[in-house]
Amino acid sequence: MGNNRAGSSGKTNITGDLSYSVDTCARCGFCKPVCTTYPFGNGFEAFSPRAKVHYIKQVLEGKQKLTPEWVDRLYQCTTCERCVENCQTEISLVHLWEALRAETVRQGIGPMPMHAKMREAVDEYNNPYGEPKEERNKWMQPDHSPTEGAELLVFGGCTGSYRMTAMLRTGVTILQRMGIPYAYAGPNEMCCGSPILRTGQLESASRLIGTNLDLFEEMGIKEIVSPCSGCSKTIKHDYPKWAEKLNKNWSGKVQHFSELYVELLRDGRIKPTRRIEKTVTYHDPCHLGRAQRIFDEPREILRAIPGLKLVEMEFNAENARCCGAGGGVKGHYPEMAAQIADKRVLEAVETGADLLVTMCPFCQASFTQSIDKLGVNIELIGVEELLLQSVEG
């Protein structure tokens, strides 16, 4: 028990507690009705998390092999953690999928082609979009002036820096207005590694993480703040393990911007005063909510803004539906990702809110496309943008 069990395909990297947890699956299927991507499996049980665990157990026992068809199914997961939230025996299902994905890469049967392309882009440009490294700081405004030697690092992330830049720009503007010194690595900042890690491409992830860790040390960073739920999750949860693995020093505090804003609000350093007479509904990003247990902070910020009325979607907080983008799904299964995003946007529209707000550039990117496509009457905006509007009043 708990040891590596060799399957017919050789040893796997499913070991220790992860291997034990496979045995504890109660086969209850609580993960199945809540799974974001199960509905895309034509109604067949094999696409459910429960069936995937059963299959993995058989692989570990040498009764089944990892095949290209099964690997394709494995990658059809947004890593939203709704399965984890509902699991009776608390199996770390997303860790399990990610470990299996790494195993498929090791065996040469993964990742999916678009994930490999994404990795190639990261290897060359340090971001999965293939954008020029030197343009990583193009989002900055003239009044943004990072402080050399500051212990707080703003980690922009790739989507925040190149695609959906408003959250990052606003966050830095707020720091600037509060007089909080911050450092910024600009073109030296690498992708946090999240999309590469989630798709099992550990070798590239290792390079990115290692380089970022060296950068943190060189810059004397003690704290990191990021507007991205994926980056903050990865740096908060994955970097300490990788630092140990890579023999690097890292013990800094990592925050998502929502945590920092709440601290500023509670300390009375930031005071939203201008009324914003709007109704908003908040989308919990999976990697911020379920993964980091940050459910209350964004709502606390919204409630602090005078005039703003918060209405909840039916599926919210721990039960929130996914935007469809995570886990590499948007990269390789864009149509699936789009349908998932549409469903969430329509749920937001049902609340009657004027604004759909979130705190993740990746979710924001998905919803932007959905809102355009569906032509629905709801505006998309970041929580921090509302906060800044209220403060500036």
The footprint of other proteins (CB under 8 A) covers 1-2, 16-18, 20-21, 23-24, 26-30, 32-34, 42-46, 48, 51, 54-55, 58, 64, 67, 69-70, 86, 88-90, 92, 95
Residue closer to other proteins by CB (options 14, 359) is 14
Shortest CB 88 distance to other proteins, Å: 4
Q: In terms of CB distance, is 16 or 132 closer to other proteins?
A: 16
Quote the CA–CA distance of 262 and 305 in Å, as a whole number: 12
In whole angstroms, the minimum distance from the beta carbon of 200 to other proteins comes to 19
Any alpha helices (H) in the chain, and if so which ranges? Answer: 16-23, 31-34, 49-60, 68-75, 82-86, 93-106, 113-125, 158, 166-178, 194-198, 202-219, 229-233, 239-245, 257-266, 296-304, 329-332, 334-350, 361-374, 383-392
Q: Residue 45 or 203: which CB sits closer to other proteins?
A: 45
Least distance in Å: CB of 219 to other proteins?
Answer: 33
Q: Cβ 347 to other proteins, closest distance in Å? A: 14
* Closest to other proteins by CB, 77 or 301: 77
Residue 311 in 3-state DSSP? coil
| Bridge partners, 357 (sequence order) | 282, 381
Nearest distance, CB of residue 18 and other proteins, angstroms? 7
Rounded distance, CA 155 to CA 160, Å?
9
Min dist. Cβ of residue 289 to other proteins (A): 17
Type of residue at 34: V
CA distance 336 to 71: 17
Cβ atoms < 10 Å from Cβ of 29: 16
Closer residue to other proteins in complex, CB, 57/163: 57
Q: Which is nearer to other proteins, 70 or 216 (CB)?
A: 70
